Amino acid sequence: MPTPWIRHVMSGILIAVVPAALFATDISAAMLYSNGTTWLNGSRIPKSSAIFSGDLVQTKSDSIANINAAGSSVLVFSDSLIQFQGNSVKLEHGAVTISTSKSLATHAGDISVTPASNDWTEFEVKDSDGAVHISAHKGDLLIADATTTTTLPQGQQITRGHSTAQRKKKPAGGAIPAAKGPIMDSTTAIIVGGSAVGGLTSWVLMQGDDPASPSQFK
């Protein structure tokens, strides 16, 4: 059996690592795939990258991008800027097509577009020239602003204007500034923490009943 001091060390590591790992897994994540020039938080990505809630995606005139999450897919058209928010997408400018069975919503200025049910729904949202253009390709949509909520039936489309205070301005040029995140993202924290616990556990099991020699710590 491990000696008492080893038990104390293992307990301390488990207390420190496990809650952090469990908290980290609560962050929504997806995969981003690029065809052309795409920027993630101000940095150009190759063909694919992990993406987390709060990340900004910007496509250039020669590119499109696709975000694959659990039960949802987001096609980001060229010259678009969006923020992935886990259970929704914030469209700053440009256009997206949403395919979802998880009621993934899209926000554009003060307009919110949400599937009317949990059935498979496909719709397009375009934000340009101070107006939001919405098309319901499959399934009904709920269109909400600061004062009203209306239903857009499948096969229909509608255009809504932004309020003056909510109109978004397209960046003057170049990529969006890089986001400053934590030293380790959730996935890295889990891997590092899991490796630490696993390595220590394996080492302890090899010790058997023999007490640790002081020379081991020199």
Predicted confidence (pLDDT) per residue in 81-107, tens digit: 999 999 999 999 999 999 999 999 999
pLDDT score for 197: 41
Strand partners, 127: 94, 132
Distance in angstroms (rounded) separating the CA atoms of residues 150 and 83? 25
Residue 144 has pLDDT above 70, yes or no: yes
Return the higher-pLDDT residue of 10 and 153. Answer: 153
Task: Enumerate residues 6+ apart whose C-beta is below 8 A from 56.
Answer: 39, 40, 41, 42, 81, 82, 83, 84, 176, 179
In 101-152, where do the E strands start and end? 105-108, 111-115, 121-128, 131-138, 141-144, 149-152
Average of per-residue pLDDT values in the chain: 76
Distance in angstroms (rounded) separating the CA atoms of residues 63 and 86? 23
How does residue 46 score in pLDDT terms, banded at 50, 70 and 90?
confident
Residue 68 has pLDDT above 90, yes or no: yes
Alpha carbon distances (Å) from 176 to 38, 39, 56, 109, 212? 11, 8, 8, 18, 54
pLDDT score for 132: 96
Which among 50, 29, 51, 16 has a CA at the least distance from the CA of 193?
16
Residue 215 has pLDDT above 60, yes or no: no
Strand partners, 136: 123
Q: Please give the single-letter amino acid code of residue 20.
A: A
Mean pLDDT of 175-198: 44
How does residue 161 score in pLDDT terms, banded at 50, 70 and 90?
confident
Which among 29, 81, 40 has a CA at the least distance from the CA of 188?
29
pLDDT score for 204: 39
pLDDT score for 3: 52
Report pTM: 0.66
pLDDT score for 176: 55
Residue 168 has pLDDT above 50, yes or no: no
Residue 167 has pLDDT above 80, yes or no: no
Mean pLDDT of 161-183: 49
User: Strand, helix or coil at 168?
Assistant: coil
How does residue 1 score in pLDDT terms, banded at 50, 70 and 90?
low
Q: What angle, rounded to 10 degrees, do the helices at 4-24 and 186-207 form? A: 160
